[in-house]
Structure 1
Amino acid sequence: MARPERTKRTQRFEVALNDKERAEIEKRADAVGLPASAYMRSVALGSEPPIRPNRIDAEAVAALNRIGSNINQIAKVGNTSKTLTPDQVKALIATHKGLAQIAGRINSAVTA
């Protein structure tokens, strides 16, 4: 998918701010992952700035992918041999515990 062409910005618009206002704008811009100028443009033109996904989302997805891979490997062995070794059962239990921890992290991030 091609990126949309950026509009060249040649006009400046100065806004006088006190230190507290500037700090608040920079804090809000950082919270959504935008430079202050892009955040101010977005808000001034009536658009809602994008919401930055929580960092936990990317970490949780990666961890869930690893767990899913482990579960698939264990399921393949179980399906072909119709039995699991004690080590495979231990791995399955550890995978379940990891999944429960990640689910707790996601829940905490979503409800925070």
Structure 2
Amino acid sequence: MGRPTKADADRRTMQLPPVRVTEAEFAAVSRQAAAAGLSVTDYLRQLTLTGRAVPRRGAVDDRLLVELNRIGVNLNQVARSANAGDPVTAELGGVIARLHGVLEQVGATYGP
């Protein structure tokens, strides 16, 4: 089975004029595209059309978002219990410990 046919408005049939750059400029653009997880073409298209290039999310980003979401759900449950007058100190300590662990992982992955 082949790929579905794109609508006429979604087909990329037009080309921008070629742009000449030095080897150093091309290397810089290539590094920036690679850092964003994009091909040079996709990087330049995004930069040209929107003024910025949005990096692709990696598997690490997805796992961190899932874990942060879980922690947020736990914090919400703790807040509801606390607002209802239930003692929640032990549970809150566990949630905060998990949050610190995830934040350390984020710092190790994305830190300076």
TM range (shorter): 0.5 to 0.7
Structure 1 residues not aligned, in runs of 5+ = 15-23
Counterpart secondary structure, 1:94: helix
Q: What's the TM-score once normalised by structure 1's chain length? A: 0.52
Give yes or no for contact 1:32–1:49 (8 Å, CA) kept in 2.
no
Cα separation, 2, equivalents of 1:80 and 1:42: 49
* Cα drift, residue 42 of structure 1: 6.8
Count of residues in Structure 1 that have an aligned counterpart in Structure 2: 102
Residues in 2 aligned to 1:66 and 1:96: alpha-carbon distance in whole angstroms? 12
Q: Give secondary structure in 2 for the equivalent of 1:75.
A: helix
Q: CA RMSD in A?
A: 4.2
SS of residue paired to 2:84: helix
Identical-pair percentage = 22
Per-residue CA distance 1:59-103 (angstroms, 9 max, x = gap): 33322221111121122223224424xxx71x3222111100111
For the pair 1:50 / 2:56, whether they are aligned, the reply is no
State which of 78, 84, 88 in structure 1 corresponds to 2:82.
Answer: 78
**TM-score, scaled relative to structure 2:** 0.52
d(CA) in 2 for partners of 1:31, 1:48: 17
Which structure 2 residue ranges, 5 or more long, are not aligned?
Answer: 1-8, 19-27
